[in-house]
Structure 1
Amino acid sequence: MEQYNLDANDLLLFAAIAEAGSFVRAAERLQLPKSTLSRRLTALETRLGERLLTRTTRKLQLTDFGQAVLAHARQIADEVDAATALAQSRQASPSGRLRISMPSDLANQLLAPMLEQFIRQYPAVELQIDLSPRRVDLVAENYDLAIRVGEMPEDSTLVARRIWRYTPALYAAPAYLERHGAPQTPQDLTGHARLCILTRDREPAEWLLQSGEQQHLIGGHAAAAINSPEMLTRLAAAGLGIVASNRLFAMPYEEKGELVRVLPDWHLPLVTIRAVYPERRLLPGKTRAFLDLLEAWLRPDS
């Protein structure tokens, strides 16, 4: 089989000639002699075995084969432009307005020091953060980035990048367990005060407890259902029930003896936290800088 050994530079020159519509204009834009462009194009056509352009005294006309090759040449030109822009953006200091949406609990409990570091490290970035549980429309509302917890609906216009995972477990205050007894099996949770996340359907979240291959679903009535893990953990520390919490949320209370693990052999399914942003050819430097610092701050499977 014949080997063509094409030079990508010749394809870029061909694209420039086709875009300019003449050798003269292309030579002016590229600051190359017209004779050089003509010679390189002829060599490219010779290697390909077909004409790319029909030359007349007035204009250049693409052949059908030339149209097909031009599509590939433009892809190469786009990739070169993207690589150049990437190099330039990495050399430049991130700047401009950066609009982010994230849950308030995540920001307050885990990310406050990271946000402080970002503001100090990138003073030219104007950071705007919406701390609300609602799922913003990134494109329509002009957000650069959103931090989202749990499963996501399919959306071809967004890029989802996993930044952290955790496994929730059950916690309660020692005082609560003294009053109501410590559950020994998932079945013992029946009748206990559940402190649950409020779902988007405005119902208390069910708990799917897992231990090895065993599973047990706990649902129904809840003593409180709130769309704030931080508030639920505080209520549990106050002795008002049992909560399914992230270990890092519960840790400050555990260290003070205000919470203990309930059913330590059981846990809830793994939860994934993702950074979501509009699908773009090149991620802006300000967004990339935030994501890099965020991923350095968080660790997977913590």
Structure 2
Amino acid sequence: MSSIFGNLDDLFLFCLVVKFGSMQSASERLSLPIATASRRLTQLEKRLSLKLLERQGRVLQPTPSGLALYERLQPQFEGSELHLQEVLDSQHQVSGSLSLYVPIAFYSGHLAPVIEHFLLCYPDVRLQVHLAKENHIPQHERELVVGFVEPKMGDYIAKPYFFSDNGLYASRGYLVEYGTPTTPEALYQHHWLTHDGSRSLSLSVGDQAVELQLQPRMEVNDITSLVQSLKRGLGIGELPRHRADSEPELVEVLGEYRHGGRQAYLSYKRRQYQPKAMTLLIEALLAAQKSPH
């Protein structure tokens, strides 16, 4: 025999026979017919050119060569079974550390109860929540990202998560002072505020599409701060409709025009064996998935 390949299963069977002292007990452990187990051991002895077992009355006993082989192999098999079980248990055990990157507004307005419920259900899970103001790409295998960037490079999974439908908003006080724009081009005469650094604005109504390049009066990378600035009358800005609906001080302008909107994704690195905690968190986030209108 030049290799253990092709003999490992039969060697494990041999060790069980010696351990239990019975072909029947070993066969039952492996769910094998006794005739099959007996034939495989006979073939193993032929391949090894060794007599491994001999019958003494009703009991199968190892020969001296068989006993020497058993004493070498049995601890290895027991250790391998233990390690295999540990690996399997780790896949089913809900524990470990995870990271979640999510926009501040979406977390506080939607995901916070989902995350809190998840942690109450799985007390052995540790979770770092990063309230991201900028788009982030998953960096390691225990990291989840909710954001508006779909990873194109690398081995990532990006599931469409929600669609943000946007509108243009300003305070009533601002519109009284500066007037209400009635055409997209009129926005050039107004103060433009943005939370994502965008200078390009696409609007459409029917077959008409307009692309504007606006110079922001103010940029702030936090949508909550943008809302406060709009409410104070600093200008006009683009907001998700679900966010503006909770602000009675804000008024939509050019409401007949549609915006492209933004698609958000739930992204994470692909891996063959995913920790159970990671799988359950993904399932919880997807179960809570909805378009926040």
TM-score (norm 2): 0.68
Does the residue aligned with 1:111 lie in a helix, a strand or coil?
helix
Q: Which has the higher strand share?
A: 2
1:6-40 CA-to-partner distances (Å, cap 9, x unmatched) read: xxxxxxxxxxxx85535622535883469627989
Superposed CA offset, 1:124-176 (max 9, x none): 22121122334555345x64211112x42412311111111121111111111
Superposition RMSD in Å? 3.3
Q: Partner of 1:226 in structure 2? A: 220
Conservation of the 8 A alpha-carbon contact between 2:137 and 2:145: no
| Count of residues in correspondence between the two structures | 236
Structure 2 counterpart of 1:240:
234
Q: C-alpha offsets along residues 193-227 of structure 1, whole Å, 9 cap, x if unaligned? A: 1111334xxxx431111223322112231111122
Deviation at 1:178, TM superposition (A): 0.9
Q: Distance in 2 between matches of 1:258 and 1:196?
A: 18
| 1:287 partner SS | helix
Tell whether the 8 Å contact from 1:20 to 1:26 is kept in structure 2 after alignment. Answer: no
Task: Find the counterpart in structure 2 of residue 258 from structure 1.
Answer: 249
Q: Which amino acid aligns with 1:225?
A: E
Indicate conservation of the 8 Å contact 1:167/1:270, yes or no.
yes
* 2:181 match: 183
Structure 1 contact 23–34 (Cα < 8 Å) conserved: no
Does structure 2 conserve the Cα–Cα contact (< 8 Å) formed by 1:206 and 1:218?
yes
Q: Residue 289 of structure 1 aligns with which residue?
A: 280
1:122 paired residue number: 122
2:100 aligned with 1:100:
yes
Contact 1:23 1:38 in 2 (8 A): no
1:210 aligns with one of 204, 207, 211: 204
Q: Secondary structure at the match of 1:283?
A: coil
User: Aligned ranges for residues 1-302 of structure 1 at < 5 Å?
Assistant: 19-22=5-8, 24-25=10-11, 27-28=13-14, 31=30, 32=32, 36=36, 57-58=47-48, 89=92, 94-136=94-136, 138-140=138-140, 143-149=142-148, 151-199=149-197, 204-253=198-247, 257-300=248-291, 302=293
Tell me what 1:70 maps to. Answer: none
Structure 2 unaligned spans of 5+: 17-28, 50-83
SS at 1:25 equivalent: helix
User: Larger radius of gyration, structure 1 or 2?
Assistant: 2
CA contact under 8 A between 1:170 and 1:267: conserved in structure 2? no
Q: Deviations over 1:40-92 (max 9, x none)?
A: 9xxxxxxxxxxxxxx98349xxxxxxxxxxxxxxxxxxxxx9xx969x73xx5
3-state SS in 2 of match to 1:276? strand
Instruction: Please say if residues 173 and 239 of structure 1, whose CA atoms lie closer than 8 Å, have aligned partners that are also in contact.
Output: yes
Q: Structure 1 residues 250, 24: closer, same or farther in 2, change over 3 A?
A: same
SS in 2 for 1:127: strand
Stretches of structure 1 that go unaligned for 5 or more consecutive residues are 1-17, 41-54, 60-80
Match of 1:47 in 2: none
* Distance (whole Å) between structure 1 residues aligned to residue 106 and residue 171 of structure 2: 22
**C-alpha separation in 1, matches of 2:131 and 2:163:** 20
User: Which amino acid is 1:285 matched to?
Assistant: K
Secondary structure of 1:190 counterpart: helix
Provide the rounded CA distance (Å) in 2 between the counterparts of 1:166 and 1:127.
26
Residues 108-133 of structure 1, C-alpha deviations (whole Å, 9 max, x = no match): 33322333322323322212112233
- The CA distance in 2 between the partners of 1:57 and 1:38, in whole Å, is 14
Letter in 2 for 1:239: G
Query: Which one-letter code corresponds to 2:99 in the other structure?
Result: R
CA distance in 1, matches of 2:137, 2:256: 39
